[in-house]
């Protein structure tokens, strides 16, 4: 599958360069959140909404026999990590390209804030099987220990990592549980450079001073100099809200 990237409606996430960095590295937090929320539960068909380059879809495989992964960005989908149990498809506006009552588990990994609407809830009700599950989850990596390396940027106070169905649900989805936790994870300088550059705010700052093919190497070198030979120990806050489609 190769989609035309010239007419991308996904905003900052539609950039081929940003998609390259997404594909190169995401921290191993999808797997951790799913383990905490789903445990030993197993499902039939999974739906990963806003799959990006596929890291969140791959994390679903231990829990689902098959995964349909949707994203509005052709650039992301063109770089999606292939797997025989995952089907990638473009996410259009309006009706989801998903059969009615066909989904056992639907997940939004860092994408519910952008998709949140009454129309989307109606579509999720339509495609979910009675008794099906909906998991909204996200994570926020702290770059505090790299503050001497990174340029200062204003924090996005509009984005809500805790976004849920409050105020827009019809009562069909019943709250099962909520989960929050702060965790530590290890990363290399190169991986962390990819993670930082997947945020367009940071990428644009570095693009002012470096050529496109020099940006990652330059940031990697700066991080490595800061950290020395040690692996980076990073902190992240995890967020999840788990619902069940009431029969």
Q: Is residue 151 part of a domain?
A: yes
Q: Is residue 7 part of a domain?
A: no
**What is the predicted pLDDT for the residue at 13?**
75
pLDDT in tens, the chain (247 residues): 667 665 555 566 778 999 999 999 999 999 999 999 999 999 999 999 999 999 999 999 999 999 999 999 999 999 999 999 999 999 998 899 999 999 999 999 999 999 999 999 999 999 999 999 999 999 999 999 999 999 887 776 789 999 999 999 778 999 999 999 999 999 999 999 999 999 999 999 999 989 988 999 999 999 999 988 788 999 999 999 999 999 7
How far is residue 232's CA from residue 224's CA, in Å, rounded to a whole number? 9
**What is the predicted pLDDT for the residue at 179?**
97
The torsion angles phi and psi of 183, rounded to 5 degrees, stand at: -130, 165
How far is residue 193's CA from residue 215's CA, in Å, rounded to a whole number? 9
CB 69 within 8 A of CB 86: yes
**What is the predicted pLDDT for the residue at 12?**
67
The torsion angles phi and psi of 68, rounded to 5 degrees, stand at: -100, 120
Q: What CATH number is given to the structural domain containing 155?
A: 3.40.50.150
How far is residue 115's CA from residue 166's CA, in Å, rounded to a whole number? 14
Q: Is residue 24 part of a domain?
A: yes
CB 82 within 8 A of CB 61: no
Beta bridge pairs of residue 81: none
The torsion angles phi and psi of 210, rounded to 5 degrees, stand at: -130, 155
How far is residue 43's CA from residue 31's CA, in Å, rounded to a whole number? 16
Nearest alpha-carbon partner for 69 in 92, 93, 88, 85: 88
Domain count across the chain: 1
In this structure, the dihedral spanned by the alpha carbons of residues 62, 63, 67 and 69, taken in order and rounded to 10 degrees, is -90
Q: Is residue 2 part of a domain?
A: no
Q: Is residue 43 part of a domain?
A: yes
Q: Is residue 46 part of a domain?
A: yes
Q: Is residue 1 part of a domain?
A: no
Range of the domain at 72: 12-245
**What is the predicted pLDDT for the residue at 240?**
99
**What is the predicted pLDDT for the residue at 4?**
67
Q: Is residue 91 part of a domain?
A: yes
- Within 10 Å of residue 21's Cβ, how many Cβ atoms? 24
């Amino acid at each position: 599958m190769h989609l035309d990237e010239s007419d991308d409606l996904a905003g900052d996430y539609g950039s081929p360069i940003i998609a390259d960095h997404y594909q190169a590295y995401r921290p191993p937090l999808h797997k951790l959140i799913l383990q905490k929320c789903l445990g030993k539960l197993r499902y039939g068909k999974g739906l990963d909404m806003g799959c990006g380059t596929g890291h969140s879809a791959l994390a679903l495989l231990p829990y689902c026999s098959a995964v349909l992964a949707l994203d509005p960005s052709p650039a992301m989908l063109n770089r999606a990590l292939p797997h025989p149990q995952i089907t990638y498809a473009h996410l259009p506006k309006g009706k989801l390209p998903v059969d009615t009552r066909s989904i056992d588990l639907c997940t939004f990994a860092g994408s519910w804030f952008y998709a949140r609407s009454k129309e989307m809830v109606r579509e999720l009700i339509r495609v979910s099987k009675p008794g099906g599950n909906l998991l909204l989850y996200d994570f926020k990596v702290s770059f505090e220990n790299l503050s001497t390396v990174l340029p200062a940027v204003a924090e996005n106070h509009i984005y809500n990592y805790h976004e849920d169905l409050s105020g827009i649900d019809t009562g069909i989805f019943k709250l099962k549980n909520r989960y929050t936790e702060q965790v530590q994870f290890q990363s290399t300088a190169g991986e962390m450079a990819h993670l930082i550059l997947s945020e367009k705010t940071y990428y644009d700052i570095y693009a002012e001073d470096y050529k496109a093919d020099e940006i990652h190497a330059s940031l990697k070198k700066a991080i490595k100099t800061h950290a020395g030979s040690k692996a980076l120990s990073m902190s992240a806050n995890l967020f999840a809200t788990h619902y069940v489609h009431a029969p």
